[in-house]
Amino acid sequence: MKREVKFSLVFRDMWQSAGKYVPRVDQLMKVAPAIIEMGCFARVETNGGGFEQVNLLFGENPNNAVRQWTKPFHEAGIQTHMLDRALNGLRMSPVPADVRKLFYKVKKAQGTDITRTFCGLNDIRNIAPSIEYAKAAGMISQCALSITHSPIHTVEYYVNMAKQLIELGADEICIKDMAGIGRPVSLGKIVAGIKAIKNIPIQYHSHAGPGFNMASILEVCEAGCDYVDVGMEPLSWGTGHADVISVQAMLKDAGFQVPEINMEAYMKVRSLVQEFMDDFLGLYISPKNRLMNSLLIGPGLPGGMMGSLMADLETNLESINKYKAKRNMKFMTQDELLIKLFNEVAYVWPRVGYPPLVTPFSQYVKNLALMNVMQMEKGKERWGMIADDIWDMLLGKAGQLPGELAPEIKEKAEKEGRKFFTGNPQDNYPDALDKFRLLMKDKGWDMGQDDEELFEYAMHPAQYEAYKSGKAKQDFLEDVEKRRMEKKAGTAPTEPQTLTVDVNGTAYRVTVAYGDVQPETTQAAAAPVGEGKDVASPLEGKFFLTKTAQETPLKVGDKVNEGDVLCYVEAMKTYNAIRAEFGGTVTAICFNAGDSVSEDDVLMKIG
């Protein structure tokens, strides 16, 4: 009999790999006892990544959710772990050092045992403080190698990275194969190389989409892996994870000691997950995310973002086809857009320096590729719209890129007067907790137990304010109701259709679109109307005047110069800065923070 291999249920990632949301706290508490009853999990992933932003979108307090969700597992002797984005904490953009430090103290107090820290660029400088902060808080520091497949990312590259992390004090190593494109034999060599340095616990995380991961699980276990991340039906396979039943059967046949599964409890969890999907979560899950697809090998996009990607594509497809409808052009299908996107990712990725395709850089590369596709479909140039967060990655402000930028990107940066940065990324983001303390005091908000509310506000300012105001919950409930009504009414065409109709013997070609085809109608009815030139939205998303508490929002009457940031449109988890194309005075601001906007909506007027 070979050594023991233990299982971790990545319950959070199961949901986020399938769709947009994870269950509400009442649903989490309902399923926890059944997960424990299965008797086969040494660990459960209880939070991290987008989990807390989702709570805020529901109008739920995420701190309460984490405390309740981790408690039953602790009482059962099961370790809990969470995902941590290093410099970015729990969000898509960098976090000040004092907020990062508070992060670990809060999560430990709430009941999280292990923090899985990764840097989307594999920059050790971004991970090192997290090791220190986690250990100071009494947490297990598990550091991740973000796996991808490129000429740069070799076995030696990853073994050397693990060696540096171990020397910095990492307690464990995670092989984070977030897209499932790690080649099985190479992954086995990486695990063996790490074990040769130190017999440290190793956990393997992989997604099933491209089809490699069952072979990869066997290879890494043969090489010495201690823990394997698994999912379960009805959210295993596809863009998610291998099912625990299959993994257990495979490893048992290979001679490993693996825990038995209480199948009655398995079916209970399976039934509850389906119940949650039938309630509302399934409204945000694309059927295509339930399928495996070897086309994912090429672009290397991670399973964890495929859920939101398919939802984003619906909006982007509508925008493209609105453009085509106005010009009597042939409409694009979702499959055509998906293939164009995959091809553009393959084009963009090496030209932006081969960043591992993991949050947030997978989203940045995907967003950049998608923007390129949309711009080119509308007759514009590639690289025409690059969000500031993406520029931060390109310029080195988020860490060192593994490869070289293409000359065309460097030329664009020089033309726009952008400066490259070679220092420590954390130096770009000064401490901010004192400012948030003052803001909370002014608003009369409680800092919370263990300063957890202070942490939440500092980590997710815009989402926290929407949660506190009640707007988040209202928007969420309205969206759920809208989707339920659409589902009840049956599947209607979502793309514009060109038809030929006969009117009194004369044939006319007309375009019939479904949903909002006049962007102007989405503007707030009470928006002030001023004189001046329109500032139109270049894309669909949510409107914000600022993206951080450090920024001062514009107001009517303010003077602006050409090139100034006016506002932001948040789309695909990225804040896209809208800059003034001309100077003048702001005469109208046409939306409120958090309002949905369509492409070509008038955001502001400048006179």
CATH of the domain at 539: 2.40.50.100
HEC-encoded secondary structure of 495-554 = CCEEEEEEECCEEEEEEECCCCCCHHHHCCCCCCCCCCEEEECCCCEEEECCCCCCCCCC
Residues 219 and 157 in one domain: yes
> Tokens 């520029």 — which residue?
391
529 and 486 fall within a common domain? no
Q: Is the peptide bond before 234 cis (omega within 30 degrees of 0)?
A: yes
Give tens-digit pLDDT for 349-394. 999 999 988 878 888 888 888 888 888 888 888 888 888 888 999 9
Beta strands across the sheet bearing 602-606: 533-536, 602-606, 584-589, 559-560
564 lies in the same domain as 528: yes
Whether residue 241 is contained in a domain is answered as yes
CATH code, domain with 203: 3.20.20.70
Q: Are residues 33 and 158 in the same domain?
A: yes
Answer yes or no: do 244 and 343 share one domain: yes
Structural domain contains residue 504: no
Q: Tokens 């039953």 identify what position?
A: 72
> 507 lies in a domain?
no
pLDDT band at 241 (very low <50, low <70, confident <90, very high): very high
Nearest Cα residue to 535 out of 486, 471, 607: 607
- In terms of domains, do 458 and 588 share one? no
**HEC string for 431-460:** CCHHHHHHHHHHHCCCCCHHHHHHHHHHHC
Range of the domain at 523: 519-606
503 in any annotated domain: no
SS3 label, residue 286? coil
In angstroms, rounded to a whole number, what is the distance separating the alpha carbons of residues 247 and 232? Answer: 10
Per-residue model confidence as pLDDT tens digits over 547-580: 876 688 999 999 999 888 899 998 766 788 898 9
Could you tell me if 357 and 425 lie in one domain? yes
* CB under 8 A, 24+ apart: contacts of 217-221: 217/242, 217/247, 217/250, 217/251, 218/184, 218/250, 218/251, 218/254, 219/184, 219/185, 219/187, 219/188, 219/191, 220/175, 220/187, 220/188, 220/191, 221/5, 221/251, 221/254, 221/256
Same domain, 556 and 460: no
And the tokens for 575?
């804040």
pTM of the model: 0.79
355 and 231 both lie in a single domain: yes
| Rounded to 5°, angle at Cα 472 from 13 and 463 | 65
pLDDT band of residue 314 (cuts 50, 70, 90) is confident
Q: What confidence tens digit (pLDDT) does each residue in 119-160 have?
A: 989 999 999 999 999 999 999 999 999 999 999 999 999 999
Say whether pLDDT at 192 is over 90.
yes
The CA distances from residue 47 to 67, 84, 188, 370, 527, in Å, are 10, 9, 28, 29, 39
Task: Assess whether 460 and 535 both reside in one domain.
Answer: no
What was the pLDDT predicted at 596? 85
Smallest Cα–Cα separation from 133: which of 172, 180, 156, 99? 99
Torsional sign, CA 396, 398, 402, 404: negative
Domains in the chain, number: 2
Residue 482, in any domain of the structure: yes
Instruction: Kindly state the DSSP code that residue 572 receives in the 8-state scheme.
Output: T
- 243 and 321 co-located in one domain: yes
- Confirm whether 514 is domain-assigned: no
What is the rounded CA–CA span in Å between residue 468 and residue 602? 28
Residue 498 lies inside a defined structural domain of this protein: no
Question: How big is the chain, counted in residues?
Answer: 607
Q: How far is CA 48 from its chain centroid?
A: 11
**Is residue 425 domain-shared with residue 548, that is, in the same domain?**
no
Q: Sorting pLDDT into bands at 50, 70 and 90, what band is 70?
A: very high
Is residue 574 within 8 A of residue 390, CB to CB? The reply is yes
Q: Are 70 and 110 in contact (CB under 8 A)?
A: yes
Average pLDDT over residues 4-8: 98
Whether 543 is covered by a domain: the verdict is yes
pLDDT score recorded for residue 92: 82
Is the pLDDT assigned to residue 506 strictly greater than 60? no
